[in-house]
Amino acid sequence: MNWALVTGGARGLGAEICKKLSKQGYSLVIHYNTSKVEAEKLKVVCQDLGVTVHLVQGSFNTKETTEKVVEEILTLDVPIKFLVNNVGHYLIESLLGTSEGDWYDLFNINVNAPFLLIKGLSDAVAKQQGAIINIGVAGLESQKADTYSAAYHITKQALLGMTKSLAKELAPQHVTVNMISPGYLVNSIDIPKDLMKLPMQRAVELSEVADMVQYLFSDSGKNITGQNIEISGGVRI
């Protein structure tokens, strides 16, 4: 039995990833913060597909609350082989317009939480030669000066650096570490009203990202590591 942990798994992209993995026979630990009702409904959906599901609630806003989530996951005593760091805090604001509170929240949720989760679960993942996926955003490796969502992009650039460093560090243990960076998802809060302005004239389906997660977790993806795979339809090339 393969176990996967998906953070922020109750809604949106996280829920789509959970559904995809459960259809492939993965048992799940689904993390959520405030979306209890959605998490419980998703649990039933995934269990009906024949897999085991645990729900874990918690905030990533501080080091202490994140460590509590990690402890609860470890208490479940299930062999996590795969990890998807899907939770992300998004802020549309210039750098100087970003409050100190938002700055720390962005780093705690987008950078520190994935770091603490990987630290806490790395032994289990390595023991099973598993895989880690961090969710980024399109354009990180060609990113020019940004004033639209400046602090958010800075955190995702930090997460990309972490992804590459971990990929090199964990390669001898046959653990892959990659980033998937979507463009405008169909549920993005700032998706353009006129999709014809996008390079491929359509948004990214949640299922397209979920399919890539499943591929990287499969035997076909065992030699792919340290990569930032953009699913963006040409956005921010």
Tens digits of residue pLDDT in 63-117 = 999 999 999 999 999 999 999 999 999 999 999 999 999 999 999 999 999 999 9
More confident residue, 143 or 30: 30
Catalytic entry in 32, 152, 184, 215: 152
Backbone angles phi, psi at 229, to 5 degrees: -95, 115
Q: Is residue 76 part of a domain?
A: yes
Q: What's the confidence (pLDDT) of residue 20?
A: 98
Active site residue 152: yes
Q: Is residue 237 part of a domain?
A: no
Q: What's the confidence (pLDDT) of residue 227?
A: 98
Report field, pTM of the whole predicted structure over 0.85: yes
Q: What's the confidence (pLDDT) of residue 146?
A: 81
For the chain, give the mean pLDDT: 96
Q: What's the confidence (pLDDT) of residue 142?
A: 83
For 62, the domain range is 3-231
Q: What's the confidence (pLDDT) of residue 122?
A: 97
Q: What's the confidence (pLDDT) of residue 86?
A: 98
Q: Is residue 236 part of a domain?
A: no
pLDDT band at 28 (very low <50, low <70, confident <90, very high): very high
- How many structural domains comprise the chain? 1
What CATH number is attached to the domain comprising 112? 3.40.50.720
